[in-house]
C-alpha cells in the first residue's frame, strides 16, 4: 500500500483519531502557523558563497529536529539546545521543525539543510540522495541500538501476530524504522495482511489510538524495561495521562535491533563546523538541563561518535 494512500477504513481511523485526540493535538493550521512563527529561515534563503559565512548572523546554521513529538515540545527543547550551542561554539543557529520526516530529508537538497537530529531510516535516505553524513549516534539506557515493537489493545482479540489478519494497525510515519519499516517487514515475512492501516504521525499518537481502541494494533519504538520493571518503550510517554496504559496496551512482537538515531550533517559542512558542533551536542547532554530536555524529548541520555558504516546493517534491511 502506498504510504500516502489510505483505504476508506484507514481514513475513518484518522478521522476517529482527530476526534479522540483533538483536545491534546493542535490542528494542522495551528501547527503550521506556530512553526512558521518559530522558524527563522526558509528554503528560499540565499546561500553564503562557498559556505564561508555559515554560522554567521546573516547565514545561521539550520538545525532540524525530528518531528516525532508535538511541535511545541520539539521547539521548546530545540530552543534550549540552540541557546547552549551558540554559547559553546560561537556560531549562530536557526531552529526548524519540519512537518514530516520526508520534509526533513529534503532539507538537505541543494545544501539548505545543515544539521539534523533524524531517525535512522531517514538518515539512510538522506545519505543516499544528498550525501548527508552521520557524526553522532544516540545512546538510550546505555545502548546505541533500539528496537521496534507491535502492540495491541487487550480487548482487540489480537494475542499474536497471526491475529492481525484483517485487523486495523496504526503506524507512525512511512520513514520510521521502529514505527513502520521493521514491524511491516515482520508482517510481510509471515504473510500477515491487516485489514486497515493508517499513519498517526508520532509514537505517542499510535499508543493513544491503540489504548482508545481506535486501532486494534500499532507499531512504535521499544526499549527494554529497567531492572525494576519500569516500562521504557513508547507506552511510557502516556503513563501520566493513562496510568493503566501498560495493562491495556500489550506488546506482541519486538523487532531486530536498529541503530539509534544519528546527528547528521550536510555534505557541504566542513570539519571546522561539524567537529565543534558535535562536541557541543555531547557537552549539552552532560549538563542537567540537557539531560532532562533530551530525555523528555527523545529519551536520549547521551551521544557517541559514529561513522556511516555503523548503519550498513540497517541499510541492507531497507534495501
- Judged on CB neighbours under 10 Å (0-12, 13-18, 19+), 44 is exposed
Please choose, from the candidates 264, 121, 101, the residue with its C-alpha nearest in 3D space to the C-alpha of residue 182. 121
Band (71; pLDDT cuts 50, 70, 90)? confident
Q: DSSP 3-state assignment of 264?
A: strand
CATH no. of 41-142+260-318? 3.40.190.10
Cα–Cα distance list, 299 to 141, 142, 144, 184 (Å): 8, 11, 12, 23
Looking at every residue in the chain, the average pLDDT score rounds to: 86
Q: Which segments of the chain belong to CATH 3.40.190.10?
A: 9-24+146-258, 41-142+260-318
Give the mean model confidence (pLDDT) for residues 30-47: 40
- The angle subtended at Cα 59 by Cα 58 and Cα 60, nearest 5°, is 110
pLDDT at 26 over 60: no
Which three cell numbers mark 41? 529561515
Spatial CB neighbours of 291, under 8 Å, sequence gap ≥ 6: 285, 301
pLDDT at 51 over 80: no
Band (33; pLDDT cuts 50, 70, 90)? very low
- Quick one: CA dihedral 149, 76, 262, 101, positive or negative? positive
Burial 151-190 (b: 16+ CB within 10 A, else e): bbbeebebeebebbeebbbbbbbbbbbbbbbbbbbbbeee
The sheet carrying 133-139 orders its strands as 93-96, 61-65, 115-117, 262-265, 133-139, 302-305
Name the phi and psi angles at 138, rounded to 5: -65, 150
Give the pLDDT confidence of 263-302 residue by residue, as tens digits.
999 999 999 999 999 999 999 999 999 999 999 889 899 9
Spatial CB neighbours of 267, under 8 Å, sequence gap ≥ 6: 108, 111, 130, 131, 132, 133
User: Which CATH superfamily groups domain 9-24+146-258?
Assistant: Periplasmic binding protein-like II (3.40.190.10)
pLDDT at 45 over 70: no
Please report the pLDDT score of residue 37 as a whole number: 35
Spatial CB neighbours of 205, under 8 Å, sequence gap ≥ 6: 17, 21, 25, 170, 172
Please report the pLDDT score of residue 141 as a whole number: 87
Amino acid at each position: 500500500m502506498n504510504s500516502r494512500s489510505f483505504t476508506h477504513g484507514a481514513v475513518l481511523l484518522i478521522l476517529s483519531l482527530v476526534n479522540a485526540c483533538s483536545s491534546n493535538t493542535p490542528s494542522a493550521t495551528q501547527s503550521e502557523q506556530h512553526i512558521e512563527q518559530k522558524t527563522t529561515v526558509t528554503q528560499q534563503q540565499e546561500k553564503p558563497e562557498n559556505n564561508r559565512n555559515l554560522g554567521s548572523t546573516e547565514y545561521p546554521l539550520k538545525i532540524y529536529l525530528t518531528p516525532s513529538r508535538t511541535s511545541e515540545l520539539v521547539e521548546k527543547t530545540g530552543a534550549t539546545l540552540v541557546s547552549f550551542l551558540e554559547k559553546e561554539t560561537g556560531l549562530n543557529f536557526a531552529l526548524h521543525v519540519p512537518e514530516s520526516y520526508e520534509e526533513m530529508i529534503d532539507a538537505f537538497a541543494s545544501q539548505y539543510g545543515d544539521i539534523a537530529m533524524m531517525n535512522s531510516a531517514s538518515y539512510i535516505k538522506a545519505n543516499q540522495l544528498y550525501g548527508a553524513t552521520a557524526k553522532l549516534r544516540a545512546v538510550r539506557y546505555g545502548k546505541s541500538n533500539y528496537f521496534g515493537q507491535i502492540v495491541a489493545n487487550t480487548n482487540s482479540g489480537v494475542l499474536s501476530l497471526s491475529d492481525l489478519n484483517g485487523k486495523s494497525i496504526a503506524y507512525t510515519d512511512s520513514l520510521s524504522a521502529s514505527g513502520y519499516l521493521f514491524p511491516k517487514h515482520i508482517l510481510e515475512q509471515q504473510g500477515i495482511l491487516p485489514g486497515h492501516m493508517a499513519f498517526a504521525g508520532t509514537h505517542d499518537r499510535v499508543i493513544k489510538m491503540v489504548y482508545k481502541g481506535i486501532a486494534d494494533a500499532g507499531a512504535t519504538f521499544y526499549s527494554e524495561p529497567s531492572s525494576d520493571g519500569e516500562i521504557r518503550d513508547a507506552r511510557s510517554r502516556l503513563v501520566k495521562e493513562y496510568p493503566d496504559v501498560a495493562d491495556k496496551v500489550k506488546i506482541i512482537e519486538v523487532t531486530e535491533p536498529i541503530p539509534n538515531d544519528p546527528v547528521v550533517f550536510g555534505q557541504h559542512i566542513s570539519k571546522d563546523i561539524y567537529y565543534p558542533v558535535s562536541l557541543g551536542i555531547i557537552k549539552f547532554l552532560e549538563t542537567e538541563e540537557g539531560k532532562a530536555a533530551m530525555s523528555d524529548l527523545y529519551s536520549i541520555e547521551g551521544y557517541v561518535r559514529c561513522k556511516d558504516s555503523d548503519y550498513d546493517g540497517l541499510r541492507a534491511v531497507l534495501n
